Amino acid sequence: MSEIVGHLIGGQVVTDHTRSLEVLNPATGRCLRQVALADQAMVERAITAAAEAFPAWRNTPPISRARIMFRFKELLQANADKICQLLGEEHGKITHDAKGELQRGIENVEFACSAPHLLKGEHSKNVGPAIDSWSEHQPLGVVAGITPFNFPVMVPLWMYPAALVCGNCFVLKPSERDPSAALLVAQLLSEAGLPDGVMNVVNGDAEAVDTLLSDARVEAISFVGSTPVAQHIYTSATAHGKRCQALGGAKNHAIIMPDADLDNAVSQLVGAAFGSSGERCMALSVAVAVGDATADALIEKMQQQMTSLKVGPATDDENDFGPLISAQHLAKVVGHIDSAEQQGAKVVVDGRGLRVQGHEDGYFLGGTLIDRVTPAMDCYQAEIFGPVLLVVRVNSMRDAMDLIDAHEYGNGTCIFTRDGEAARFFSDHIKVGMVGINVPLPVPVAYHSFGGWKRSLFGDLSAYGPDAVRFYTRRKTITQRWPEGGIREAANFSMPTLD
């Protein structure tokens, strides 16, 4: 009987299930364990646990909630090796990269420690005679998070530390493809002193998600994943009267200007395009070279640098990146390279058919560079989500910006240049949510918020940082009067004003 990854409900790990799924090691293709897939009744159990924990948790002083986050942070650091090992086993992420993911997650826990300050609200004395008024941020109640495979630890930590310190109870539905790290991390919260039921995890697929979307007790949904699913989640959650933020896919362009420091730009591009096998929503996937001379020099330097890329299993920290998540995803990414070739692009560095010794059944693809891509090609339109960098040649920065603005996605972008005026114009006008200037992966730090534009984000509020406090609370404004001697007043039928 193989190990089973269960759910965390009311502080207990529950492994009962009617359906389960194999969790594979993408570096070997072998089954590591099974994950239980929650049915409607199991998800309802988790929502009930959260709803029952809510009255006491919402009345727990914010500083006490924050102290649990302080302890949680220490436990995350103490358990870093185990967490990174699980990320390596199930996602294929190399340890140096897994450590970075965990650290970015921890920074969101650090932000949550400042909740008492963030929840203070606003107060006005004497808005009228003996009348005071204040606004406060009240928790929503039970809120849920649905997360993707590519950041099994960091993306859940974008959500629930903020939600919990704001006084909500949480149900997390991690990706069924690499569920173990998210479950382990959530269990550490109990060890940090979080009362049972405040944090719950249900593993599962669309059946579990549908229950979270339709159950009236769930007040809000945070989603991160692909755009078609994000759009479905947003449409369904809002139709059910829930608050929703749904972050979707991306196609992140980097403009390479003729005046850029090309050696530096190439190093940055190689890291940002191929790190984590390109399975990052902020991965750079299109290099837009301004002018043929820039493009030719870029291709030459990229080719040189790509010869030293090391691809292999997570267990070897010397590797730059590991396998793709599944055989199906590998086939999809290879299909995009094939189609680029068929539609007239030039595959300059070809990662197809890579064999990693001792891991012949793993889902590996080498770094791939494709030149002379045009906007009409399928490989340009789609989010490839693999270690593939496309090069599009344009004549001017305006042409590059028009290209980026016309794309369906607007998550991240960056420009490599030495020209401050050009950079300022670019960041002012480009229709993308997160912009880098000589910074390839402009992932905002935890005390700013993360969100794309266009079809990379459905909803009005971004993830984590100050927007998370707005998303996970509801404003209430109270006006009160306590005049000396009590209130003796005739009915007043005019709109109350101060003359």
- Per CB under 6 A, residues contacting ligand NAD are 146-151, 155, 173, 175-176, 205-206, 209, 224-226, 229, 247-250, 281, 383, 385, 411, 452, 456
Q: Which two tokens stand for residue 64?
A: 């006490």
Q: How far is the CB of 400 from ligand NAD (least distance, A)?
A: 22
Q: How far is the CB of 155 from ligand NAD (least distance, A)?
A: 6
Q: How far is the CB of 254 from ligand NAD (least distance, A)?
A: 17
184 vs 202 by CB, closer to ligand NAD: 202
205 vs 316 by CB, closer to ligand NAD: 205
Q: How far is the CB of 332 from ligand NAD (least distance, A)?
A: 11
Q: How far is the CB of 288 from ligand NAD (least distance, A)?
A: 19
> Among residues 244, 281, 379, 414, which one is catalytic?
281
Q: How far is the CB of 94 from ligand NAD (least distance, A)?
A: 18
Residues 38, 142, 84: CA angle, nearest 5 degrees: 60
101 vs 371 by CB, closer to ligand NAD: 101
Distance CA(418)–CA(424), nearest Å, equals 11
88 vs 249 by CB, closer to ligand NAD: 249
Residue nearest to ligand NAD (CB): 225
112 vs 224 by CB, closer to ligand NAD: 224
425 vs 453 by CB, closer to ligand NAD: 453
Active site residue 379: no
151 vs 170 by CB, closer to ligand NAD: 151
CA 180 to each of CA 41, 203, 486: distance values in angstroms, whole numbers, following the listed order = 22, 10, 61
Lookup result for tokens 């006006």: 479
Q: How far is the CB of 468 from ligand NAD (least distance, A)?
A: 13
Q: How far is the CB of 450 from ligand NAD (least distance, A)?
A: 6
45 vs 173 by CB, closer to ligand NAD: 173
Active site residues: 281
